[in-house]
Amino acid sequence: MRLKRVKRPQLLWLVVPFVLFVGVLPLANRVEPALGGVPFLLLWFAGATLLTPLAVWLTWRGDHR
């Protein structure tokens, strides 16, 4: 029995949060520059957290087309 391989390139959107949280961590792991007294790493994680639902939504939208 042979399984049919389905191409689903929209799943690549789910790589974006992984790269933002883990892949770029060595580059973003710094306190300076601090914007408004908030360390850069905290701002980076907040931005990545806000972009994660967008990546999931793009994956969902591409999967339903």
pTM score over 0.75: no
pLDDT digits (tens, 9 = 90+) for 3-31: 777 677 788 889 999 999 888 888 877 77
Which whole number is the average pLDDT over 26-53?
A: 86
Evaluate the CA torsion angle 27, 30, 33, 37 in order and state its sign: positive
Closest CA to 43 of 54, 58, 32, 55: 32
How high is the pLDDT of residue 47? Answer: 92
How high is the pLDDT of residue 35? Answer: 82
> What secondary structure letter does DSSP report for 20?
I
How high is the pLDDT of residue 65? Answer: 66
How high is the pLDDT of residue 54? Answer: 94
